[in-house]
């Protein structure tokens, strides 16, 4: 039975799993679950992931959620996946796990919280929260500094001094591409000081093309819509219309 990937391309961890499957030629079926329509809350999806979050997979009778666990599982379960993604070598693998564990409590906490509360929330029917966005800024900037000065230390173009991407590169870059939703000035305020981070994002993009751009295209489209709505909101002082407009176009 074909692998099923439950995903919403607006979700960072969903994108990492989809890109991984496509780059590695894994035969899978993408099942779209739209967060903006609250489809992740349906009783059918709750059977797949009781936590009602995306992504999730079903491989035969095996169900799994949490993107890092999914990426590691796919790298091991599909024999055609090149070793560099999640090396069999215990020490290299443990280092990758170390970056992945760091990601969830640091970069994700900063980037996802900032983007949600500064621009994305109205598209999901939630209010913007400037206080939460301000609180996330520090996490985001500190995390970018850690990537630049710790994880990207070494000669390679990828994390941990690597010359080829791992599942950690893909996961973290898909988190950072969510910053595409911000306006240029705001995005540059965060990424501008970190030249190695910018080069690394491009390296991961190049290593996973054309799938990287194809999977991200919905995000690039949403950016235009969100920014237009943000301008309208600033003019009228309301949040109305954002959700319907975004949903109908994605």
Binding site for ligand GSH (CB under 6 A): 11-13, 35, 40, 52-55, 66-68, 104
Minimum Å distance from CB 103 to ligand GSH? 9
Please tell me the distance from the alpha carbon of residue 11 to that of residue 19, in angstroms, as a whole number. Answer: 12
Spatial contact of 169 and 109, defined as CB atoms under 8 Å apart: no
Q: Toward ligand GSH, which CB reaches closer, 67 or 229?
A: 67
Residue 22 vs 52, nearer CB to ligand GSH = 52
Of 13 and 87, which has the nearer Cβ to ligand GSH? 13
User: Encoding tokens for residue 135?
Assistant: 């609180």
- 174, containing H or E segment: helix 167-176
Of residues 104 and 223, the one with the C-beta less far from ligand GSH: 104
Would you tell me the crossing angle of helices 130-146 and 107-115 to the nearest 10 degrees? 140
- Tell how strand 3-7 and strand 56-59 pair up: antiparallel
Q: Are 59 and 21 in contact (CB under 8 A)?
A: no
In whole angstroms, how close is the CB of 113 to ligand GSH at the nearest point?
Answer: 11
CA dist., res. 149 & res. 92, Å (int):
19
Least distance in Å: CB of 134 to ligand GSH?
21
Q: How far is the CB of 141 from ligand GSH (least distance, A)?
A: 21
Q: Give yes or no for a contact between 165 and 82, defined as CB atoms under 8 angstroms apart.
A: no
Separation CA 170–CA 185 (nearest Å): 25
Cβ proximity to ligand GSH, 157 vs 212, nearer residue? 212
């Amino acid at each position: 039975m074909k692998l099923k990937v439950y995903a919403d391309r607006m979700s960072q961890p969903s994108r990492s799993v989809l890109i991984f499957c496509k780059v590695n030629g894994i035969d899978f079926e993408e099942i779209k679950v739209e967060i903006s329509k609250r489809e992740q809350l349906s009783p059918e999806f709750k059977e797949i992931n009781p936590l009602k979050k995306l992504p999730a997979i079903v491989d035969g009778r095996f169900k799994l959620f949490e993107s890092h666990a999914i990426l590691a599982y796919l790298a091991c379960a599909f024999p055609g996946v090149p070793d560099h993604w999640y090396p069999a070598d215990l020490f290299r693998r443990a280092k990758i796990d170390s970056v992945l564990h760091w990601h969830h409590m640091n970069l994700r906490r900063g980037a996802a919280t900032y983007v949600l509360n500064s621009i994305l929330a109205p598209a999901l029917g939630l209010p913007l929260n400037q206080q939460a966005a301000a609180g996330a800024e520090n996490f985001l900037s500190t995390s970018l500094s850690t990537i630049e000065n710790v994880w990207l230390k070494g000669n390679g173009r990828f994390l941990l001094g690597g010359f080829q991407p791992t599942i950690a590169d893909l996961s973290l870059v898909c988190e950072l591409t969510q910053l595409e939703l911000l306006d240029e000035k705001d995005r540059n305020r965060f990424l501008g000081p970190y030249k190695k981070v910018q080069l690394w994002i491009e390296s991961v993009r190049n290593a996973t093309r054309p799938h990287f751009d194809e999977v991200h295209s919905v995000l690039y489209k949403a950016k235009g819509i969100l920014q237009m709505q943000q301008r309208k909101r600033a003019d009228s002082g309301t949040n109305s219309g954002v959700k319907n407009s975004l949903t109908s176009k994605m």
